[in-house]
Structure 1
Amino acid sequence: MMRKISILALILVLIALFWYLFLKPQDYQVSFKAKALPGTIFETVKAWNKTMDTVAPVQFESLQDFTQTLAFNDSVHIYEWNITKIHDSLSQIDVNIKDRDHSLMNKIKIPFSDTDFEKGSRKTLLDFNQFLNEHLQKFKVSIVGEEELFSTFCACVSLTTEPVEKAGGIMANYSYLNSTIFENGAEPNGPPFLEVENWDLKANTLSYNFCFPIIRSEKLPIHPSITYKRIFGKPALKAVYNGNYVTSDRAWYALLNYAEENNIPVEKKPIEVFFNNPNMGGNEIEWRTEVYMPIKESE
C-alpha cells in the first residue's frame, strides 16, 4: 500500500515538475495596482513602449489583455499584460513575463535565488509605474452625464492616423482649414471639433473628421479636400477633459466605463469640441475639451 502511495506521489511530482518546466506559460509574474482605468493603462503602455528597445508594437487582444515584446541585451522578453478593473479609479495589473530564448534556465534558477531576470523585470515595471503616475498628473477627466449633442453645419477635412497622432492631424490642418474657409467669407459658428468615424484598437488606427462649425451659405469655397456636412443633435454622454489633445482619448475610456456601469448603450464614435488652439501652446492642464459619446437609438 505504501509503495503504491509513494509511486503515485512520485508521478504527481513528475507531472508538476513537467508542467512547471515546459508548460507553465510565464517564467515570472509581477503584480501591482494603478489608479487608472484599463483603457488608460493600455494607452500608456503603448506610449511607454515607444521609449523602450522594442521588437514589435503592442499586440492588442482586448483592453484587459495585450502583449508587449521587449529586447534586453541578448534576450527578448515577452510581457503579457492582464488588467482587472477593481473600481472606477483602481485597476489590478498582472504582468506575466517570459524570456523567449532562456525560459527553461530561468525556471530552474528562480526557485533557488533572486535572479537578474527577476530583478530586471521588477525594475522595468517600477519604471513603467512611475511613467504611468507622471502621465496621470498631466490630465483630468470629469464626467458630466447625459446631455444633448449639438447640431451644426460644418466644413471638415477627413484624416486617418494612429490615435496618438490625432493631435498632430488637428494641428497640421487647423490653420489650413481656418484660412481656406474664413478667408473666403465663411462665417464661424462655434469652436472646432473632431468627429470619430472609426476607432480600431487592434489595427491602432483612427479615422475622423476635423471640422469648423460655420453658417451655411451658397458662397462657400469649393476645395477637393474639404467637405461640408451637418451634425445632428442626439442624446450623448458628456465629459470634460483637461490636458493635451494627444491623450484626450482618456476621456473616451472614462465615458465607455460610465456607459458600462450604468447599462447605457453607446456608439464608439466620440466627438471632441476644442476650446484651445494647440498651436498657441500654454499650460496644457488648462486646455478644455468637451467630449461626447453618442447614445445608441432604441431599435
Structure 2
Amino acid sequence: MNKIKYVSVFILVGLTVWYLFIKPNDYVITFKSNTSPGTLFKGVEDWNLANQKSDSFNFTVINKKHFEFYTEHIEIDSLLLQVKWNFKGINDSVSMVKVGLLEREHSLYNRITAPFFNTKFKEKSIQLIQDFKNGLDFQLKNKFKVKIVGIDTLPELQYAYIKIDSVPLKLKAKKMLENNTNLLTFLTKHNLKEGNFPFLLVEAWNLEEDIISFRYCFPILKKDSLPFNEIIKYDKIKPKPALKAIYNGNYRTSDRSWFGLYQYSKKHQIKIAEPIEFFYNNPFNGGDELKWVSETYMSILE
C-alpha cells in the first residue's frame, strides 16, 4: 500500500510540475471544422490581416508550416499572446484545430487560475478564437463551398495560353483578368476559340513561399496550322486519371479546392501533379457567387 501511495504521489507531483512549468501553453482551445487544413491555414492569414487593418489587434508571425501550423504573437488589449495554431485533417472533409495560447509574463498565474476562474487572459483567449471560428463558419456557409469528387479523368483538349511566372497565389485571379483581353482578342481574330470557358494550368507551386507560375488558357479548335505569336503559345492536354474537386464561390479564393485535393491526396497516399482549374462563369456578369462553378483536377502520378 505504501508503494502505491508513493507512486501516486510521485505521479501527482510530476503532473503538477509539468502543468505549471513545462507545458508549452497556458490554455488550449480545440474545435472541428468542415474544411481542409489548407483552408484553415489561409483563413488564419486572412483573419490576421483583416484585424490588423481594422486596428483590432497587431500580429507578428513567429514561424509557420503551410497547412500544418502557424505560430504568432498577437497584441490585444494590453496582452501579448503567443498563439500557436495546429491543423490536422481527420477525414476528406473535416479537420481538427488546436490552438495553444501563452502569456509569458503571467504564465504561472494563468495556469493556476485557468481551471477555476475567468481571468482577462482566459476570457480574451476564448473571445479571440471564437471570433475566428465565427468568421470561418460564415465564410464556409455563405462565401464558398468545396466538394471533393475523388478520382475522375482529365479531359482531352488543345489550347492556347499565356504564361505567367512567379506571382503570389492571392493574385492569380487578378493576373488572369489582366491577360484575358489579349488572349481572347487573338483567338477571336484568328477564329480559334472553342467554347467560352478559360482554365488555369499550374506549372509550379511553391507552397512555402505561396507563389505560383501558371498558364492562362483557352480551348481552341484543332487545326493543322496555327498562327504565330511571340507571347501566345499552344499545347495539348491528354486524358489521364486525376483527382477532381468542384468549387462554388468567387474565383479569388478558388484555390480552396486545391487545398481540399491536396489533403485528399495526402490522406489516401496518392501522388499528384499541379492543379488544372476550369472556370465556367464570367465574373464580369456578377450574380450570386455561390453559383459560380469551377472544377479542379490534379493528375495522378505513377
- TM-score tier (shorter): 0.7 to 0.9
Shift of 1:165: 2.3
Instruction: Give the corresponding residue for 1:130.
Output: 134
State the alpha-carbon separation in 1 of the partners of residues 153 and 199 from structure 2: 17
The change in CA–CA distance for 1:17 and 1:29 in structure 2 (over 3 A counts) is same
State the alpha-carbon separation in 1 of the partners of residues 15 and 291 from structure 2: 57
2:254 corresponds to which of 248, 269, 274: 248
Letter in 2 for 1:128: F
The change in CA–CA distance for 1:58 and 1:35 in structure 2 (over 3 A counts) is farther
Summarize deviations over 1:61-101 as a string: whole Å, max 9, x none: 25233223322133332221123333333322211011244
Instruction: Give the corresponding residue for 1:185.
Output: 190
Identical counterparts, % of pairs: 35
3-state SS of the aligned residue for 1:270? strand
2:89 corresponds to which of 85, 92, 96: 85
Indicate if the aligned counterparts of 1:49 and 1:57 stay in contact, CA closer than 8 A. no
Summarize deviations over 1:85-130 as a string: whole Å, max 9, x none: 3333332221101124443443354355221111011111111111
3-state SS of the aligned residue for 1:282? coil
2:144 corresponds to which of 139, 142, 157: 139
Instruction: Give the corresponding residue for 1:71.
Output: 75
Shift of 1:228: 3.8
State the alpha-carbon separation in 1 of the partners of residues 62 and 292 from structure 2: 29
3-state SS of the aligned residue for 1:89? coil
Range that drifts further, 278-287 or 60-69: 60-69
Summarize deviations over 1:121-172 as a string: whole Å, max 9, x none: 1111111111111111222233333213323131213143322222222222
3-state SS of the aligned residue for 2:160? strand
The change in CA–CA distance for 1:158 and 1:232 in structure 2 (over 3 A counts) is farther
Indicate if the aligned counterparts of 1:36 and 1:91 stay in contact, CA closer than 8 A. yes
The change in CA–CA distance for 1:131 and 1:187 in structure 2 (over 3 A counts) is same
3-state SS of the aligned residue for 1:175? helix
The change in CA–CA distance for 1:246 and 1:68 in structure 2 (over 3 A counts) is farther
The change in CA–CA distance for 1:78 and 1:171 in structure 2 (over 3 A counts) is farther
3-state SS of the aligned residue for 1:132? helix
Gap regions ≥5 residues in structure 1: none
Shift of 1:188: 0.8
The change in CA–CA distance for 1:21 and 1:259 in structure 2 (over 3 A counts) is closer
3-state SS of the aligned residue for 1:171? helix
2:181 corresponds to which of 165, 170, 175: 175
Letter in 1 for 2:181: S
State the alpha-carbon separation in 2 of the partners of residues 262 and 13 from structure 1: 41
TM-score (norm 2): 0.82
**Runs of at least 4 residues of structure 1 off by over 6 A?**
11-14
Number of aligned residue pairs: give it: 290
Letter in 1 for 2:216: F
CA RMSD between the two structures: 2.9
Shift of 1:186: 5.1
